[in-house]
Amino acid sequence: MSAAERRRPGEFSLIAKYFQPLAKGTEGAFGLLDDAALYRPASGSELVLTLDTIAADVHFGADDAAESIARKALRVNLSDLAAKGAEPVGYLLSLALPDDWTEKWVGRFARGLAADQRKYGIGLLGGDTTRASGGLTITVTAVGSVPKGKMVLRSGARPGDVIFVSGTIGDAALAMAVRRGDIKPSDQKVAARLEERYLHPRPRVALAPVLRRWANSAMDVSDGLVGDLAHICEVSAVGAEIAAANVPLSSAAKSLAAGSEAALRTVLTGGDDYEILATVSPDKAERFRRDAAAAGVRVSRLGMIVEHGRHLPVVFGRDGSPIAFDGLGHTHF
């Protein structure tokens, strides 16, 4: 045991100091003082369960701020719940710490979680803190609640459905390209705005009830817009046609993607958007858009679900001809 290790708290005092406060108000968490959490589903509700892992140098930079890493770990899971029309209720956390962890880092990580717990109205239900050989790895299991029978699936897309996406697409993927040095923005403010989207996904929690009411299918866009739309096509046994010109871009993304074929491909197939892709019957499309706007979320029409062909979306470029893709999506693998 090194001197640094002797100065660090052990597992139980780390939990007591930093994680028990996060579970304080959570019903059924027993202050993290039991083997497991109890969850009492509300009458007439069903549970939605999702798990996502993020690892250093794969999903985030090992030197990113601890608060940001905490928020990302939580938010990528809340994004999955939102896409299913579920309200988040709590989460379980696995924190596998590298050898060189410090108490200060854990304190900042816990502060990031605390801020997001307040923001999203959720509590820590349980978890595990352990040492791992290698880099930091964080797994969150998020628990959500939906009214009985109301979970929104990927498999409900029908020919004729209007395809919508929330927010703007491609910012995080462009931020990664900037991090890799593949794209060099001349304006540092542009780089900073993209980086912010990469660091802090914005799960569309407010969209959950709107999706439950109007959407035939939905999923969160985490592995790239075109690849994720292909997933909806595959499980719904349909095809899709969208126009690249309809893909909503932030002004930062616009400034990079304008005139760059490579940047456009990054936008369409890059990952980490954490926006919502949804398909809605044409007669409900306008009401969906209006309710989403009322919930504070702008949604854009991308195109239409069609009879199934090869289960692959066709993306029409500005010249009206389909864009060819080598690979359809980004993988964190």
- What span, in angstroms and rounded, lies between the C-alpha atoms of 89 and 222? 22
Is 132:96 a contact under the CB 8 Å cutoff?
A: yes
Packed helices 188-199 and 171-180: angle between N→C axes, nearest 10 degrees:
110
How far apart are CB 248 and its own copies at their closest, in Å?
Answer: 21
Decide if residue 131 touches its own copies (CB under 8 A).
yes
Give the residue, chosen from 71, 75, 154, 289, that forms a contact with its own copies under the rule CB under 8 A: 154
Map tokens 């880092």 to a residue: 105
- Supply the DSSP symbol for 206: G
- What span, in angstroms and rounded, lies between the C-alpha atoms of 324 and 213? 35
Q: Which is nearer to its own copies, 151 or 243 (CB)?
A: 151
Q: Which is nearer to its own copies, 127 or 201 (CB)?
A: 127
Residues near 187 by beta carbon (within 8 Å), at least 6 away in sequence: 255
How far apart are CB 178 and its own copies at their closest, in Å?
Answer: 21
Decide if residue 2 touches its own copies (CB under 8 A).
no
- What span, in angstroms and rounded, lies between the C-alpha atoms of 162 and 158? 9
Give the residue, chosen from 10, 259, 296, 320, that forms a contact with its own copies under the rule CB under 8 A: 10
Q: Which is nearer to its own copies, 60 or 214 (CB)?
A: 60
- The kind and range of the H/E element at 188 are helix 188-199
Decide if residue 234 touches its own copies (CB under 8 A).
yes
Map tokens 């990079």 to a residue: 256
Give the residue, chosen from 27, 34, 182, 187, that forms a contact with its own copies under the rule CB under 8 A: 34
Collapsed DSSP state (helix, strand, coil) of residue 266: helix
Decide if residue 4 touches its own copies (CB under 8 A).
no
Subset of 94-113 contacting its own copies (CB under 8 A): 94, 96, 98
Interface contacts to its own copies, rule CB under 8 A? 10-12, 14, 30, 33-41, 46-59, 62, 80-81, 83-84, 86, 92-94, 96, 98, 125-135, 137, 139, 141, 143-144, 146, 148, 151, 153-155, 219-220, 231, 234-235, 331-333
